[in-house]
Structure 1
Amino acid sequence: MSEARELNLHTASTPLDASRLERPPIIQRTEIVTFCLIGLLLISITAVLYVGRAFFLPIVTAVIVGTMLSPAAKFLERYRIPRSASAVAIVTATFAGLAFMIGLISAPVMEWTTRLPEIGPRLKDKFHVFDRPIALWHQLQGMFGAAPGPGETSLSLPLPKVEWVQPTFEFLSPTFTEILLFFAVLVLFIASWPSLRRALVLTFGDHESRLRTLRILNAIETHLGNYLLTVTLINMGVGIATGVICAFTHMPNPAGLGALAAILNFIPIIGPIVMFVVLLAVGIITAATLGAGLIAAAGFAIVAFIEGHFITPTIIGRRLALNALAVFIALAFWTWLWGPMGTFLSSPLLIVGLVLKEHLMPVKDTQLPEI
């Protein structure tokens, strides 16, 4: 009896092996099954969104845009304007401004389409400094048995084929039914958003869940509204700066190029790159010399760099500052899934996801070791 008691005391006083305490937990079978089920659920949701894009894309776009414009309807309600009337007025004013911007862009585009036959000879005159490198390239091709095709000279630079542009545009362009569905859902969503909020909050039974849902909805509405207002003002500034640069460098139709810069800047990362390529191409074609054609594109690159690295992070603040890798992955995913409108929705949907993560999975204040 005394020996057993001494053995128990010895066991209690003996410290546990540190290697056992530091050993990572073994992954249970249930955790693997749960992970696989979540993966299958995400794949299924992605497949449904891709196959049913004609139905889901207008609805999701209308909900996101309606949430962005909801603060404006709330502001008009303070002046005793009915919610339905304010919804129609806000949607009409928004798309009137968008139509005006598209009108500024469409005029020079139609003009340039009629001048396509003149572009080839102009480019050949501008790029005569590259005749020697191109000749060396064709000689190198000849050494490996790749002779120029029929009708090609030794100094010819073949232009890329664009047969894919029309079918791609037809595939990505929304149909009339999708546009009509978008407008109808947008107006109805803005008009009925307060009742929808109330019904969604009251869906939950306990007080804590209702309070959490209300906080999530308020945070999403505030973040998306601030995002739209801030990004719109910043993009207008970028468009004005681009128009001024184009006017000083004697580019054709500086107002249209400025409007195009403002619209493309709504698309993160890709928009400024596309605008730089457009200014580079227009400048090379229209300018007297090759160096003069690079000035407008260089000026826009400086403006885009200042806006993307200093102005936008400072104004939006750290709370809405999005990780560049997360923005790029979301941009690539939603562009692949839903085309150009998916590109526009990538940042708002990322903001919604971050708000949900912040409220549903809050980070605990724990002291972590430095990595």
Structure 2
Amino acid sequence: MTQTQHGSTDAAADHVEQRRALTDWAIIVIALLAVLTAFALARQFLVPVMMAFLLSLVFSPLCRWLRRRRIPEAVSAAVIVAALVAGLIAAITSLAVPVAGWIDDAPQYMWEIEQKLQSWSGVAEAVSDADKEIKEATEAASGDGEAMEVVVQESGPMSTIALEAPVVAAQTVLVLILLYFVLASGNLFYERLVRVMPTFSDKRRALSIVYDVEREVSRYLLSITLINVGLGAAVVIAFTLLGMPNPFLFGLLAFGLNYVPFIGALAGTALVFSVALVSQETAWAAAVSALTYWGLTAVEGQVVTPMIVGRRLRLNTVVIVISIAFWAWLWSFMGMLMAVPLLVTFRVFCKHVPQLSKIEEFLSGPDPMEGDEKEQAK
């Protein structure tokens, strides 16, 4: 065979290999789109299921610890679920009355906020001018000098909450029921996982992944929960001293929003500023309350969390923000709450699969020790 024939054969082989690679990537993209579509369509089912399994990762080590002390999993699972129900009822009871009052008085609050901001900008003047222009336009359109009556019918916040409440309640019940059965089953899931794996190495890798995911996610969620409790307590104390209304409510708000990194702190600061504009005497006093909230969350995010969580949870900050935005787009607020635990789970999975080691490295954040070594090298 001549050299020309060898070259044409190699070129044909390269062309076939390129087409095969393109086909593989096309299949992967189609599969990802199909999965995303399924996740979006099955949102009302998948959200409580995912939440139940994430909670089971947190409480499974506790159930095993109690089992070693001769307490059956069914009993420990019932106690854990009962404690969650009691905490949920207490939170709803604490939030229901003030939140309902805020919603009912929302128009009055908006007017007061407008008046407080008048010293900072021309918002109130612009709104007043726009209102006059609308009135003049309607009088001119009526032709006889009488203003036309414009009626806008739309659903208010309370009606929206009333419509969504049954769905949220059903999802919450599903989470609690599924959590109980997962915890009460003990190691049944792990045993079935080992049994379906074909080889011993696959069994060992599967167990390693499952236990590593459980350990990392449970440590992260437990650590963040303790940190959020401390942040909520600090907010309660600070707002009590600043004279903010319902300081316990804001502490509870800080506790919940802080499960969403970065975005939760910004949303909480904006909400505190809006409420403080109504409850405080001046806009500057409202700014002090908002800055206090932001300062506490900044100390938590930049000092406390790195010290407690440590190097075990090294995640790329950009990836965290993208993950939160993606899951918020897909599953709304519940997706934002589960974004970081799901990212931790995926990172642990990539760490145990050699083919995905580069993705695990990309998801990981900078190692403080590497920075110290570079400084010493300089």
Aligning the two structures, in what range does the TM-score lie when normalised by the shorter sequence?
0.7 to 0.9
1:66 counterpart residue number: 56
2:288 counterpart residue number: 295
Correspondence for 2:234 among 234, 241, 251: 241
Correspondence for 2:244 among 244, 247, 251: 251
Cα displacement (A) at 1:124: 4.5
8 Å contact from structure 1 (residues 172, 339) kept in 2: no
Correspondence for 1:110 among 84, 91, 100: 100
Correspondence for 2:23 among 19, 33, 52: 33
1:185 counterpart residue number: 178
1:212 counterpart residue number: 205
Cα displacement (A) at 1:270: 2.0
1:150 counterpart residue number: 135
Cα displacement (A) at 1:98: 3.1
1:275 counterpart residue number: 268
Distance (whole Å) between structure 1 residues aligned to residue 154 and residue 250 of structure 2: 23
8 Å contact from structure 1 (residues 59, 185) kept in 2: yes
8 Å contact from structure 1 (residues 239, 259) kept in 2: yes
- Three-state SS of the structure 1 residue aligned to 2:259 is coil
Cα displacement (A) at 1:194: 0.4
Cα displacement (A) at 1:200: 0.1
Cα displacement (A) at 1:101: 2.7
Correspondence for 2:45 among 19, 31, 55: 55
Unpaired runs of at least 5, structure 1? 1-24, 153-160, 365-371
8 Å contact from structure 2 (residues 64, 186) kept in 1: no
8 Å contact from structure 2 (residues 231, 254) kept in 1: yes
Cα displacement (A) at 1:107: 2.8
Unpaired runs of at least 5, structure 2? 1-13, 138-152, 359-378
State the AA in 2 paired with 1:312.
T
Deviations 1:119-149 (A, max 9, x none): 255335423324657648988x9xxxx9832
Cα displacement (A) at 1:235: 0.4
Percent identity between matched residues is 28
Cα displacement (A) at 1:166: 6.1
**Segment of structure 1 superposing worse, 326-335 or 94-103:** 94-103
Distance (whole Å) between structure 2 residues aligned to residue 252 and residue 98 of structure 1: 22
Normalising to structure 1: TM-score of the pair? Answer: 0.80
Normalising to structure 2: TM-score of the pair? Answer: 0.78
Distance (whole Å) between structure 2 residues aligned to residue 106 and residue 228 of structure 1: 26
Cα displacement (A) at 1:60: 1.7
**Segment of structure 1 superposing worse, 97-106 or 307-316:** 97-106
State the AA in 2 paired with 1:353.
F
Corresponding position: 1:89 with 2:79: yes
Cα displacement (A) at 1:301: 0.8
Structure 1 pair 319–149 and aligned structure 2 pair: CA distance change class (3 A): same
Distance (whole Å) between structure 1 residues aligned to residue 282 and residue 256 of structure 2: 29
The structure richer in helix per residue is: 2
Structure 1 pair 94–175 and aligned structure 2 pair: CA distance change class (3 A): closer
Deviations 1:11-56 (A, max 9, x none): xxxxxxxxxxxxxx98722111111111111111111121122222
Distance (whole Å) between structure 1 residues aligned to residue 263 and residue 205 of structure 2: 36
8 Å contact from structure 1 (residues 73, 90) kept in 2: no
Distance (whole Å) between structure 2 residues aligned to residue 198 and residue 134 of structure 1: 66
Cα displacement (A) at 1:192: 1.3
Distance (whole Å) between structure 1 residues aligned to residue 114 and residue 283 of structure 2: 11
Corresponding position: 1:263 with 2:256: yes
State the AA in 2 paired with 1:350.
L
1:123 counterpart residue number: 113
Asked which structure has the greater CA Rg, the reply is: 1
RMSD between superposed Cα atoms in Å: 2.9
8 Å contact from structure 1 (residues 313, 321) kept in 2: no
Corresponding position: 1:346 with 2:331: no
Structure 1 pair 256–336 and aligned structure 2 pair: CA distance change class (3 A): same
State the AA in 1 paired with 2:135.
P
Deviations 1:94-123 (A, max 9, x none): 232233233322232133344445425533
- Three-state SS of the structure 2 residue aligned to 1:294 is helix
1:98 counterpart residue number: 88
Distance (whole Å) between structure 1 residues aligned to residue 94 and residue 116 of structure 2: 28
Work out the number of aligned pairs and report it: 328
- Three-state SS of the structure 1 residue aligned to 2:197 is coil
Distance (whole Å) between structure 1 residues aligned to residue 114 and residue 18 of structure 2: 67
Corresponding position: 1:75 with 2:38: no
